[in-house]
Amino acid sequence: MLQRIEKLLLELAVFAVLLLGILITTSVLLRVFFNSGVPDSVVMVRELMVAAIILPLAATSTARAHIVVEFLTNRFPVRIQGWFVVFGTAFGALALTPLVYASWNESLHTLQSGGFYFGQLNLPKWPGHLIFMLGISFCWLRLLLLLIGDVQRIRAGLTIEGLDAPNTEPSTDTGSIN
Amino acid sequence: MDGTLVGLIAFSSVIGLLAVRVPIAFALVGVATVGSFVMFAFRTGTFMGERAIRATSSLVFSNSFDLIHSYDLSMIPLFIALGHIAYRADITTRIYYAAKVWLVGIPGGVAMASVVGCGGFSAITGSSIACASTMGRICSPEMLRMGYDKRLATASVAAGGTLGSLIPPSVLFIIYGIFTETSISKLFLAGVLPGILSLFGFLLVIYLWVRHDPAAAPPFDGHITRADRLQAAIKAWPAITLFVIIVGGIYGGFFTATEAAAICVSAAVFIGFAQRKLDIKGLLDSLRETCIQTSSIFLIAAAAKIFVAFIALTGVAPAIVEFVTAADLSSFYLLLAISIIYLILGMFLDPIGIMVLTLPLMIPLVETYGFDLIWFGVVIIKLLEIGLITPPVGLNVFVIANVVGKEVSSETIFAGILRFLAIDVIVLILIIAFPLISLLIPGSMS
Amino acid sequence: QVTLIAGEAGPNRGARAASLQSFADDVAERSEGEVIIDIQWGGALFKSEAALQSISNGVADMGTIIGVYFPQEMLGYGIADLPLENPDAWVGMRATDELMRSSSAMQENLAANNLVYIGTFTTSAVNIGCQGATIESVDDIKGLKVRGVGAYGNVFKDFGANMVSVSIYDAYQALDSGLIDCSQGYSYAVSALKQQEVMSSYTLLNWGQVGALGVFMNKEIFDSLEPEVRTILSESGEAMADKLGELITVDNQMAIDTMKSTGVEVLEMAAGERSKLVEKGKPYVDEWVKRADSIGFDGAAVLEQYRGLIDKYTAERDEKGYPWQRN
Ligand code: NA
Ligand code: NA
């Protein structure tokens, strides 16, 4: 279930990047060829940025694409390394809790206050806030599930994925999740 | 609560957490959240829990949200996307082959072509990591196949990848420009000559390496005709077109640096589809990679922003600035100190994290010394670039290690990197000693 | 001894920074060192976009809020941003200051967000500089590519300008490359960003200013202070307007001189043309009144009061000169 939602969120982020490109390109073309433009495109780009960056966070966690420093822990046996990974995930879930709480608060607040961005269209503030809340909440949930899964694997005598290869550096090249 | 003490405890906690493999972003957010709570709760001597929760939650949310909710930073996902799309649309490979057919006859020519290819690709992508991972996928396996020394085959691309941020467009310059309120277009121009200088430095390293140890680069035994060369150069047109669009568009007044990213992505997609090198699936796949990469970059940047806000609460920053100012350093020693600090941070942290962490401290300091902020930006970016290839945490090295797989360990790559580091330090000294290298082009603008 | 943290998203240079600093110094002096204001510059604690929540939630005890980022929450204060005939920096600040202190509707509007008014700033008169174009009449605006802000920007658009989004720091490059023809701005900012190098003309509009930016304080914390301390903060906040008025008026004059000496054609928009600008801005003023009514303000009455205050301080200036010019 979560996996599906995660995929959906990633697809939505991809859609947001596409829209970013299309929106900015359109506004440039309109300006250069018709001396015109897209109203409030700056606000729309900002809202899309939130979607493009926050929505994939859960998938990023699943792909274990968070950048870590591991030259010290690499000296330990794989089983111990597994416990370091577990600690990192647990710490991450804890560290994000206040942010998740805050994002719920702020989204509710912008929904209630009716705040909007000054412009030609006076676009409301809540969509970006809501997207942020969704993305960060699912990331938090994913960390929690990773934590449970990893503990179970270590207890069962298995290694955590990504720790078995000799090259354990973090992957910023994440073609593998596709 | 003594802010300086809390600040020092926080810094050591972050270092401790990083050492035990806690992801950088989580370490920064966690420590900053707890630290902010402590600062807010004990401000007046009596414990104020409820008020502190409200303030802390507001601080963590607004600092992360406002960083991401940015128009200017939209260049980052777009320039990263451009890198991925250019790779899939075969644009990148052709830059490399054009360089290769021209240089293959020279000893170490393929390694040189890789560096030149990196330089060319840098001109259309904004990120060093993207540059290293894309060129690494193309160049390193080929050099290994040709029997190049493993260290040379990998280190040349890891080093070449660092050109990604110095040669415009550049994510790091964008972030620097936003933090220091300097013109991003001017910063882009300022990076050009230092980038080219670094590129020639790397070529020199390869030349000396192969001259000293000819076995490191087995000579090419095929035959390349003049027609081959011409054809390869012509086939590189998409990259050249993109470069012309970026430069001509920004300086010809057609669009802003922010908009250039989107225009180039559109152009690359168009070229890819027109040449049948790219399809919908390829496009979506490259955007998925882009999203994952961008989200992990921004999570660190947002975490660092929260950390910066917390540090502001502790008052450590003005204390340090006061300390340095009181020490009354000459410009030379100040720059030396700054360089050492950045080199040390660069050993462990990623460039964006370092920048958002240190700029709020550095800029007031640098301003009191009357340094040119555009030139200083180039110095900082060069220092951060060096950090990408210094052990123990050299992101570019890890990226290459990841691309070449089990064949080469990151230790081997680091061993090869040392020679490139030597030239980087020389280039850095030149950039510091002769600000004109950076300021010549942007200066000619006004 | 009390230390109050103030958050300011801008850098610690320029006229606004100097008057904020003078406010802090003033508070320290009046309280004989009992109240210290620790200013966090450069958006270290929060960016302008988050100033309101951050102050009302106590991230900082006080700080600068720029009204245009909170058109809903700072609706009342937003009156100072309206394109009224209000181009004088000092007059505008004085009028805004008195309105904020005397109107209970304003105070209630702020209290809803846990805020208290301390003092006001301004960006000073809105003017427009161009490269390769000259704006003498409103008809000249049509078809120009313009960087504009706020309701003023909307009015330029209504006159047929094509609005281009460029940050103020990149306006130089944008004017130079021809990306934009004109940039809305303030005289001192033109000179600080060296824009005169890339401008051929600069039109003084005598129209209005962006004045809804000022210092606000967390109400809970304000209320917890001793009455004497509250008085000191209010008095020092009020004095801030005179300080900034002096600094910004001098800076603006120097900037105009610089422009003239570098060959920029500085012209004034004729009164007849100016009134067309004011007329075109009227829908935005009406919109403010309507929105104010919807949140329980008597919009028209507050506007009337504000116009009256602008007239009052214009008369005072004409009669006695600016405070810093009096002996
Ligand atoms: Na680049
Ligand atoms: Na490093």
Q: How is chain A classified by DSSP, letter by letter? A: -HHHHHHHHHHHHHHHHHHHHHHHHHHHHHHHHHS---TTHHHHHHHHHHHHHHTTHHHHHHTT-S----TTGGGS-HHHHHHHHHHHHHHHHHHHHHHHHHHHHHHHHHHHHT-B--SSS--BSHHHHHHHHHHHHHHHHHHHHHHHHHHHHHHTTPPPTTSSSS--PPPS--GGG-
- Does the N-terminal peptide bond of residue B392 adopt cis geometry, omega within 30 degrees of 0? yes
pLDDT tens for chain C, 327 residues long, are 899 999 998 877 788 999 999 999 999 999 999 999 999 887 888 989 999 999 999 999 999 999 999 999 999 999 999 999 899 999 999 999 999 999 999 999 999 999 999 999 999 999 999 999 999 999 999 999 999 988 899 999 999 999 998 877 778 888 988 899 999 999 998 988 888 989 999 999 999 999 999 999 999 999 999 999 999 999 999 999 999 999 999 999 999 999 999 999 999 999 999 999 999 999 999 999 999 999 888 999 999 999 999 999 999 999 999 999 987
Q: Which residue is associated with the tokens 């058109």?
A: C71
pTM of the predicted structure, to 2 decimals: 0.88
Task: Report yes or no on A171 lying in a domain.
Answer: no
* CA dist., res. C6 & res. C45, Å (int): 9
Dihedrals phi, psi of C147, to nearest 5 degrees: -95, 115
A65 located within any domain = yes
Which of B68, B266, B409 lies closest to A53 in CB terms? B68
* The token pair that represents A96 in the structure block: 């994000």
Q: What pLDDT is attached to residue C12?
A: 78
Q: Inter-chain contact C176–B256, Cβ cutoff 8 Å?
A: no
Q: How confident is the model at residue A92 (pLDDT cuts 50, 70, 90)?
A: very high
A40 touches chain B (CB under 8 A): no
Phi, psi for B155 (deg, rounded to 5) = -65, -35
Tell me the C-alpha distance between B431 and B359, whole Å.
19
Residue of A nearest to B349 (CA): A69
**Do residues B261 and B78 make contact, with C-beta atoms less than 8 angstroms apart?**
yes
Per-residue confidence at A70, pLDDT binned at 50, 70, 90? confident
Structure tokens at A163: 């720790």
pLDDT above 80 for A172: no
3-state secondary structure B418-434: HHHHHHHHHHHHHHHHC
Tally of domains in chain A: 1
Hey, which residues does A45 pair with through a beta bridge? none
Comparing CA positions, the residue from A142, A59, A133, A163 lying closest to residue B290 is: A59
Is A98 contained in some domain? yes
Q: Show the CA angle centred on residue C183, arms to residues C182 and C188, nearest 5°.
A: 130
Q: Which residues in A lie closer than 8 A to residue B19 (C-beta atoms)?
A: 69, 72-73
Position A29 in a domain: yes
Q: Spell out the alpha helix ranges (H) of B105-236.
A: 109-122, 128-145, 150-161, 163-166, 171-180, 184-212, 226-235
pLDDT score for A166: 40
Q: Under a CB-based contact definition with an 8 Å cutoff, are residues B204 and B423 in contact?
A: yes
Distance, in Å, from the CA atom of B101 to the CA atom of B142, rounded to the nearest integer, reads: 14
If phi over 0 gives left and psi between -120 and 50 gives alpha, with beta otherwise, what is residue C63?
Answer: left
The DSSP 8-state label assigned to residue C125 in this structure reads B
Cα dist. C318→A104, C120, C311, C313, C321 in Å? Answer: 53, 22, 10, 8, 6
Residue to substitute from C46, C47, C48, C53, interface A, most A β-carbons within 10 A? C53
Domain assignment of residue A62, yes or no: yes
Q: What is the ipTM of this complex?
A: 0.90
The encoded tokens of residue A124 equal: 């409301």
Which residues share a beta bridge with C146?
Answer: C163, C182
Is A161 inside a domain boundary?
Answer: no
Is A14 within 8 Å of B255 when comparing Cβ atoms? Answer: no
Mutate to test the interface with B, among A8, A25, A48, A67 (most CBs of B within 10 A): A67
Q: Which of C153, C163, C213, C212 has its CA nearest to residue C185?
A: C153
Whole-number pLDDT of residue B396 = 86
pLDDT at A173 over 50: no
**Pairing label, strands C162-163, C145-147:** parallel
Q: Count of alpha carbons within 13 Å of C136, Cβ hemisphere only?
A: 2
- Give the CA dihedral A65, A66, A72, A74, nearest 10 degrees: -20
CB C190 within 8 A of CB C250: no
pLDDT of residue B401: 83
Q: Which residues of chain B have pLDDT under 50?
A: 445-446
Neighbours of chain B (3+ CB pairs under 8 A): A, C
Pairwise CB contact (< 8 Å): A35 & C72? no
Length of chain C: 327
Ligand 2 center from residue B388 Cα (angstroms): 5
B contact residues 118-137, partner C, Cβ 8 Å cutoff: none
The two three-digit tokens of residue A66, written as one number = 């968070």
Radius of gyration in angstroms for the set of CA atoms belonging to chain A, rounded to a whole number: 20
Q: Which helix (H) or strand (E) segment is B53 a member of?
A: helix B49-68
Binned at pLDDT 50, 70 and 90, residue A178 comes out as: very low
Task: Identify all chain B residues contacting C69, using CB atoms and an 8 Å cutoff.
Answer: none
Q: Which of B181, B253, B317 sits opposite C177 (nearest CB)?
A: B253
Cα of B372 to nearest chain A Cα, Å: 30
β-pair type (C35-40, C62-66):
unpaired
Give yes or no for B185 touching C (CB within 8 A): yes
Please give the residue that has the higher pLDDT: either B183 or A4. Answer: A4
pLDDT value of residue B444: 53
Contact B129, B86 (CB under 8 A): no
Parent domain of A21: 2-155
- Judging contacts by C-beta atoms under 8 Å, the chain B residues touching residue C220 are 51
The answer as to whether A178 is a domain residue is no
CB-neighbour burial class of residue B26 (10 A; exposed 0-12, middle 13-18, buried 19+): buried
Cα–Cα distance measured from residue B2 to residue C85, given in angstroms and rounded to the nearest whole number: 51
- Residue B181 has a pLDDT of 75
A37 closest CB neighbour out of C69, C143, C163: C163
Interface of A with C (CB under 8 A): 31, 35-37, 41-42, 106, 109, 113-118, 120, 122
Taking contacts as CB-CB distances below 8 angstroms, the residues of chain C near A35 are: 143, 145, 162
Closest C-alpha to B36, from A141, A88, C46, C10: C46
Distances in whole angstroms, Cα of residue B121 to Cα of each of A55, B109, C171: 29, 18, 29
Q: Which of B69, B287, B409 is opposite residue A49, by nearest beta carbon?
A: B69
Q: Which of A132, A154, A23, A135 is nearest to A79 (CA)?
A: A154
Nearest to B288 among A24, A105, A178 (CB): A178
Strand order in the sheet with C162-163: C162-163, C145-147, C182-185, C127-130, C201-204, C265-268
Q: Is C169 on the interface with B (CB under 8 A)?
A: yes
pLDDT of the residue at C239: 95
Asked, for residue A63, whether it belongs to a domain, the answer is yes
The SS3 call for residue C128 is strand
Centre a 10 Å sphere on the Cβ of residue A161 and count the other Cβ atoms it contains. Answer: 12
Q: Do B403 and A21 touch (CB under 8 A)?
A: no
Cα–Cα distance measured from residue C111 to residue C219, given in angstroms and rounded to the nearest whole number:
7
Give C219 Cα–ligand 1 centroid separation in angstroms: 48
**Nearest C-alpha in B relative to C198:** B446
CA–CA separation, A156 and A148 (whole Å)? 12
